[in-house]
Amino acid sequence: MGRSAEAGGEQSMTLEEFVLEVMDRLETAQGLAGVEICRSGTAAPRRFPPDSPLIAVGLGEMKFSQTAAGGDLGGLGTGREAEWEVSLSICVPASAADGEAGCIGLFAAACGAFPPGGDLGIRSVSAQKAAYDADCGCFRLEGRLVVSAYLTEVEE
C-alpha cells in the first residue's frame, strides 16, 4: 500500500518518496482520470527533502496520462512511459524565503533534483501562485508538477 504519514504527525521524506507515495496511491485507485488523492490540508504535513523548509501540506487533484495505448497501470506492460500531473499546496516559512519569488525558487530547486529522462523524473514544474499568510507567518504556494515514470519490468 502507500507510504502515508500517520495522522497528526510530521514525516520527513525526500521528493522521490513523495512521488512514490503519489504513484502508490494512483496504482490502487479505481478510476485514473481526475483522481482526487486528498484535499489540501487533510494529509499530515511532510517535509521534502528533510533539510528543506518546504512542507507539503496537501495534495490536490491528480491526472493520469500515458504515451502508449492501454488501460490502467497494471495493463501497461513494460517499457512504457506514464505521466502524472499533480497539484499540491506548499508552505514555506517567511524566514526561509525572500518574498514570493524566493518561495517559488525554493520549490523549483527541490523539484530540480529529479530531472526528466531517468526512470522517474519531474518533467515540468509550475507555481500558480504564492501568497503570504500572516496568520502562520508562511508563504503558501499552490504548485503543479508533471511527474514522468518509465515503467520497467520487475523481476520476480
Give yes or no for residue 92 having a pLDDT over 50. yes
The two beta strands, 55-66 and 46-47, are: antiparallel
Q: How far is CA 99 from CA 58, 105, 133, in A?
A: 22, 10, 12
Q: Are 77 and 130 in contact (CB under 8 A)?
A: no
Q: Are 95 and 114 in contact (CB under 8 A)?
A: no
Of the candidate ranges 59-63, 73-77, 82-86, 100-104, the one whose mean pLDDT is the lowest: 73-77
SS3 54: coil
Name every residue whose Cβ is closer than 8 Å to that of residue 29 and which is 6 or more positions away in sequence. Answer: 35
The per-residue pLDDT for range 23-65, each reduced to its tens digit, is 555 444 433 333 333 333 334 445 544 555 555 555 554 455 5
The per-residue pLDDT for range 116-138, each reduced to its tens digit, is 555 555 666 666 677 887 877 77
Percent of the chain with pLDDT over 90: 0
